[in-house]
Amino acid sequence: MSIKSQMLLPKHEDLQDSAEDVADPRQELVDQLIVHQCFQLATDQLRDLAQKRQAYYNRPAAEPPISTDQVLPKHLSLAGLERYYGQVLLRRQQQKELQRTREVKTESFTIDQEINRIEDFLAKQSGWVDFRKLFDSQKIVIEQLVTSFLALLELIKRRKIEAIQQFDLGPIKLRRADHGI
């Protein structure tokens, strides 16, 4: 209204010289409207970004465990977990090697041969023996490992040996059955 009243007031000729020096009063309003429009555009962009951000889901931060005693079951220790982690990595490496081998070969090992080998090995041992002792740790042949495991199952079925495994992924222990091999 101030600008409109200034525009409607009559202009005096003696003030006409100084009026040229005075800027157009409408220009200040135009500048304010341009600034306001910039803020409105920025607000719209921020609102769009906020809506996109709401589409994401953030997981709340997990509480760090106070000690391993509270996290691990009583029959496991940190050293045991490290050992089993190493075994898992070894198995993973063996799986990768299996995936690379795609050709079918004739059998190098038979179940009967492995049954005889396991029986001979256990005849020389007393007490419980780890299943892994049946193999040379430097030269594990996957085909022999699988065949030996099948032979082990057959010997258990025939009640010639006993096997125990105390927990998942734990070592398999073997011994001759009392009514023996």
* 168 & 132 share domain: yes
CB 162 within 8 A of CB 174: yes
CB 181 within 8 A of CB 161: yes
pLDDT at position 76, please?
Answer: 67
Domain encompassing residue 164 = 110-181
pLDDT single digits (tens) 68-118: 555 566 666 777 778 888 888 888 888 877 777 666 667 778 888 888 988
Domain-ending residue, one of 56, 75, 101: 101
Answer yes or no: is 27 within a domain.
no
How far is 1 from 10, CA to CA, in rounded Å? 16
* 117 & 171 share domain: yes
Domain-ending residue, one of 74, 101, 128: 101
Secondary structure tally for the chain: helices H, strands E? 7, 3
* 122 & 149 share domain: yes
Answer yes or no: is 33 within a domain.
no
Which one, of 172, 181, 178, 80, lies nearest residue 129 by Cα? Answer: 172
Q: What is the pTM of this model?
A: 0.41
Q: Looking at the 3D structure of the chain, how many domains does it have?
A: 2
Count of CB atoms situated within 10 Å of the CB of 178: 7
Answer yes or no: is 74 within a domain.
yes
How far is 102 from 85, CA to CA, in rounded Å? 27
3-class state of residue 74 by DSSP: coil
pLDDT single digits (tens) 163-178: 888 888 888 888 888 7
Which one, of 159, 147, 170, lies nearest residue 87 by Cα? Answer: 170
Answer yes or no: is 91 within a domain.
yes
Domain-ending residue, one of 42, 77, 101: 101
pLDDT at position 98, please?
Answer: 72
3-class state of residue 163 by DSSP: strand
How far is 12 from 16, CA to CA, in rounded Å? 6
